[in-house]
Amino acid sequence: MTEGIRIETVLKHVVDISCHRDQSLLDISLLTAIQNLTGTKWVRMLEITLTQKDMLVHARAWVENDRVIILNEYSPTKQIQRPLSHFAILAAAIEQGLPTVKDSAPDGMQTLWIPIWNNKTAVACLEFAQAAPITKQIVCVLEGLLQVYRNFQNILDYSERDTLTGLLNRKTFDSNLSKVLSFRDVDTPSKTPSERRHADVPKQHWLAVIDIDHFKRINDKFGHLYGDEVLILIANLMLSSFRTVDRIFRFGGEEFVVLLRSTTLEEAHMVAERFRVAVETHTFPQVGSVTVSIGFAGIHASDSPVDILGHADQALYYAKNNGRNLVVHYEALLESGVLQKEVAANSVEFF
């Protein structure tokens, strides 16, 4: 890195980091600032996902030789996930709770990892590499920029969360659905022949609308305090039933929406059914038994957000009008002739 970084340059990057309202753009602004200030050829943001069996690592954004690459959860490009154990030195550092860790490769490449923590769990990691030794000045620059990034990320995360349940709020739904639609049906020539052969079972994104059955009765009989407790417990059951790659939103009241990331129809139905059963078999304090109705539909690039929500909503209302405590697939209703393609007159207007 050149001596004497101009304060104007640093402030420009700090302003750029703090002006974004999107996680992907926030990542790229940080990585671009690091490359510009240090002269490194590449720097990456790794995401660390905790599963029931392991901790998995994949790159969600990186800058290499001025080329910007984003791999978010809706990208059609395959994300290569590796167990954290694949990064032995990083894994040891996370286990010990170390703030930074360095590694030197036989070819002279120097790598620095800075884990990003949420409480005591590593949720991401900045990976910085260059051929020259990593000096204390570089580490200081990285840690300073990363602190600005984390502070603003916390503000961004707080603004996107429902205050009662901690789920994503309604205002963040539009941007998430827009990302899904922008990536749908995009050709991905990077797929290998093996991946294309295994693409026979179609995968896509899905939208599910969830409604707590007879929630007004719960509020009327037990009061809003117990009603709020039911909402919180439902949110917790959603987090444990749906996958970490899915996005869960509280739309307000007793309504929730889930964006299910790239999966088959069978898997989407299975995940929704797993949540329905989890609610049905859970004992809610004072209230006792609670059930939910779920309608879900496929997300297609040719459909508008209103159409997609309307499709899932029609499936939900079919479940509501046919006994409740059901998972209903919109396209299946069309195929059976129960519903027509047009949006139902009694469909709830989300916008």
C-alpha 26/C-alpha 11 separation (Å) is: 16
CB 41 within 8 A of CB 65: yes
CB 213 within 8 A of CB 292: yes
Angle at 260 between CA 290 and CA 341, to 5 degrees: 90
Q: Is 191 exposed, middle or buried (0-12, 13-18, 19+ CB in 10 A)?
A: middle
C-alpha 200/C-alpha 205 separation (Å) is: 16
**Which of 71, 75, 37 shows the shortest CA–CA distance to 57?**
71
C-alpha 105/C-alpha 128 separation (Å) is: 13
Is 160 labeled as catalytic in the residue annotation?
no
In the set 47, 127, 160, 254, the catalytic residue is: 254
Q: Which residue has the tokens 């329905």?
A: 276
| 234, two tokens | 């439902």
**Which residues touch 285 (CB under 8 Å, ≥6 apart)?**
226, 229
Kindly report the number of other CB atoms within 10 A of residue 229's CB atom. Answer: 17
Which residues are catalytically annotated?
254
